[in-house]
Structure 1
Amino acid sequence: MDDDTSDPRLTRRKCLAGGSALFGSALLAGCAGGGDETPSDGTATEGSAGGEPAESATATPAPTDAPTATATDDGGYSATLSPVGEVTLDSEPESVFTMYNQFADMLVALGYGDTVNSMFVPEMAGPTMNHYYERLDGVSFDWEGLPNPFDDFSKEFFYGLESDVHLLDPAWATTQSNWSRDDVAEITDSVGPFFGNFYSGTHAAPPESYGEDYQYYTLWELFGRVAELFRERERYEQLAAVHSDLVATIEADLPPKEERPTAVRVTLGDGQFWTYHLNRPGFWLADTRPLAAVDAFDSEQWDGLWGSVGYETMIEADPDVILHLWGMTPRYDMANVREQLRSDDVGAELSAVQNDRVYAQGMRYQGPLMNLFQIEMTAKQLYPDVFGEWPGYEDGDHYPELPAEERLFDRERVAGIVTGN
């Protein structure tokens, strides 16, 4: 692997004009809480991408064969991803559009973090990513000044960025206001290709016009496809081996199902909880599914990926563990969350509250590096007697520094892969 530090990819591209939306935007409702607002995926149009569509998709799991890239006659590389098909780049990208931060995390992992030119709510995602990277020597992400695509999801915005490639699902793009397949084709031809897959996050149905050939990928399969496009197959394989080792370690030591705790993943709102499943398909659950805890709301069926319940329903389920999504982001003050639970007559009776088992969680928009930390964190929160106690998280701090003997994956190995050292 080339360790040349003069690699032009490591030079920050020129600063972009414009700023991100104020963090309190209604687009964050549900993504990171928001009082009594209806949850959404941070999408601009409710129902099209904000909630999980009906279970009528004809999409299928992607083939499990290793992704391949082929050199083109002019020296570029091609990679294939549903629903885009084959995409060819003539040279290494210097400017890359990303939406949700799983793709930004992938680029950091592949040594291309400085090519990111946009990201959804950078004020939330950027610091959270760096909370994890703090434990990887030499790894960081410069998010300040990145524009939020949701401030102006227009073709003019895309033209202004002049991205070499857009890590964005064209099927998802067509669900946004004033976007069609013709608009996607225009940006592809005039600016750069699309290369993304959104609906694998939940296994939700894609738009009907894309449904017939749409395929679902796991997080790490999707990462592999991106790695092929960026000619970083070796880095991908090395990081995938770390992930496989981590999951194998956990699976080998999981207690029998009858001895596992009941748990819920929630976000506290105004007098209610936005609730999420733990073990369903989709890469948004790539950090909880390997832990196979008993989902206290497993039998609940919601219109989308999430539902909402009040305190009375929560006390009926009375989970052993409450995993608070977005708790490690700047959006939430976990001390305040715990105080709200304790100060409510019903909330104070919850077993997880009484036993101090209300834990801060990260983001569901997780790439490979975030996924490693979030699996480790969740393992310790759910099974402290097996994988070691979670030391706790203080608001605003980085991911806790764990003694080497208590880590579930090798930080130095991961940092070396990412930095090439």
Structure 2
Amino acid sequence: MDEAQASEFTRRRFLKGAGAAGGAAFIAGCTGDGSGEAGTTTGTDATTDRTTTGRHATTTDATGPYSVTMSPMGQVEFDSVPENVFTVFPQYADMAVALGRGDAVNAVYVPEMSGTTMNHYYHHLDGVAFDWEGLHDPLADGLPKELLFELDSDVHLADPAWASTQDNWTRSDVEEIGSQIAPWFGNFYSGTRASPPKGYDGYRYYDLWELFGKVAAVFRETERYEALAQIHADLVSTIQEKLPPKEERPTAVRVTLAGDGESFWTYHLNEPGYWLADTRPLGANDAFAEKDWGSLWGQVDYETMLEADPDVILHLWGMTPNYSMSDTLASLKDHPVGSRLTAVKNDRVYPAGMRYQGPVMNLFQIEMGAKQLYPDLFGEWPDYEDGQHYPRIPEDERLFDRTEVADIITSGA
């Protein structure tokens, strides 16, 4: 399912977090936005205790049982706010960070890659960090049931439908974990709008921010969610109001140079699914829009890339420690066909982030893409070197307020 072989990362003990998600197969593509009522909750406790820090009110732990409803789980009951949280993919860890609950996370996919990438963004948010050291990698050895029993989590922020497809897992195994340890609460197939496995009829799709609203309801942090969602809405509105007519926008591709150096894993830009939550709002012309790969990604050779010849190449995973952008650029320039690509000749090959983006990552990745695609409108993307944090953007060229985001996340902490 993936082109790259992820490094073997050391798993160390998770020590702290100012707020806080099998293998290399997930980097290019896996199986699996939509409508939904974000943050629907019911419960016997009708009141919510609140504290206010600055201009932002935040929801604190209310007493009494409550429930949150989301597909495919349906109505999920909680006796109290989860304090020990299992995640697989980093979008859910990023949600926990955004809600001031990152220190509750006990596992995340390839901790060093996910955590380092998340911290590349958090570097610009005062008081926000994700200490990934010591977190378990839930997919290092498949998805072992023994690990879930060992972690004894209060909630599993993962999709039970997805879990049922993993090696040595059945639907009864999923039900066992949900009944003996803690409920599942996740929705994987909204990422690509792919079909869920059999037995999950009526599966509902959500966009990234709807999912975030649901998770916020689990932690009884709906006001934090609403404040961040408003920043996101303002960011998207600001960008879209300035976009030129479609025919004047650049052509672009989202790709990853394959390990063989002779092909690219390619992704659509504007299709539904929260994996595209950072590119779809930007409305660039997808140079591979007419390609039907049977999913959001496919594989093409250099000749096909040259036929499309996009104005801009966005290299997925380029901001992660798994890829060297300098090596990637050198490979493109040294290749007899790659060197003829317009984006290569015009120095418009840029690092992109991760598909597994939560809300905070999404804000930065939308800003990143806007600058890479439309520098005349939103300011140029700064030079980037391997291993650096997200570049420092001049204050008057930032597309959202870092201080406001940090204040929302850390308020009440």
Q: Where does residue 67 of structure 2 map in the other structure?
A: 78
Q: Distance in 1 between matches of 2:360 and 2:332?
A: 31
Q: Where does residue 145 of structure 1 map in the other structure?
A: 134
Candidates 268, 283, 296, aligned match of 1:277? 268
Q: Where does residue 244 of structure 1 map in the other structure?
A: 233
Candidates 102, 109, 115, aligned match of 2:104? 115
Q: Where does residue 41 of structure 2 map in the other structure?
A: 69
Residues 13, 133 of structure 2: 8 Å contact kept: no
Q: Where does residue 117 of structure 2 map in the other structure?
A: 128
Amino acid at match of 1:67: G
Deviations 1:290-322 (A, max 9, x none): 000000000000033211111101011000000
Query: How do 1:257-272 residues align onto structure 2 when only pairs under 5 Å count?
Result: 257-269=246-258, 270=260, 271-272=262-263
State the secondary structure of the residue aligned to 1:215.
coil
Q: Distance in 1 between matches of 2:34 and 2:330?
A: 43
Cα offset, 1:394, TM superposition = 1.1
State the secondary structure of the residue aligned to 2:106.
coil
Amino acid at match of 2:127: G
Q: Cα–Cα, structure 1 residues 239 and 184, in superposed 2: closer, same or farther, change >3 Å?
A: same
Q: Distance in 2 between matches of 1:322 and 1:260?
A: 14
Amino acid at match of 1:86: Q
Cα offset, 1:51, TM superposition = 3.6
Cα offset, 1:30, TM superposition = 6.1
Cα offset, 1:88, TM superposition = 1.6
State the secondary structure of the residue aligned to 1:151.
coil
Query: How do 1:1-400 residues align onto structure 2 when only pairs under 5 Å count?
Result: 15=13, 27-29=23-25, 31=27, 39=28, 41=29, 50-52=30-32, 61-63=34-36, 65-72=37-44, 75-152=64-141, 153-210=143-200, 212-269=201-258, 270=260, 271-400=262-391
Amino acid at match of 2:43: A
Q: Cα–Cα, structure 1 residues 370 and 215, in superposed 2: closer, same or farther, change >3 Å?
A: same
Q: Cα–Cα, structure 1 residues 141 and 30, in superposed 2: closer, same or farther, change >3 Å?
A: closer
Bigger shift: residues 177-186 or 277-286 = 177-186
Amino acid at match of 1:237: E
State the secondary structure of the residue aligned to 1:94.
coil
Residues 381, 390 of structure 1: 8 Å contact kept: yes
Residues 359, 392 of structure 1: 8 Å contact kept: no
Amino acid at match of 2:332: L
* Runs of 4+ with deviation above 6 angstroms: none
State the secondary structure of the residue aligned to 2:224.
helix
Bigger shift: residues 174-183 or 97-106 = 174-183
Q: CA RMSD in A?
A: 1.7
Q: Distance in 2 between matches of 1:109 and 1:289?
A: 22
In structure 2, runs of 5+ residues without a counterpart are: 1-11, 16-21, 46-62
Cα offset, 1:208, TM superposition = 1.7
Q: Cα–Cα, structure 1 residues 16 and 114, in superposed 2: closer, same or farther, change >3 Å?
A: closer
Q: How many residues align?
A: 375
Deviations 1:237-295 (A, max 9, x none): 00000000000001100011111000000000121000000000000000000000000
Q: Distance in 2 between matches of 1:259 and 1:66?
A: 35
Identity percentage of aligned residues: 63
Residues 163, 191 of structure 1: 8 Å contact kept: yes
Q: Distance in 2 between matches of 1:364 and 1:16?
A: 24
Length-normalised TM-score, structure 1: 0.86
Length-normalised TM-score, structure 2: 0.88
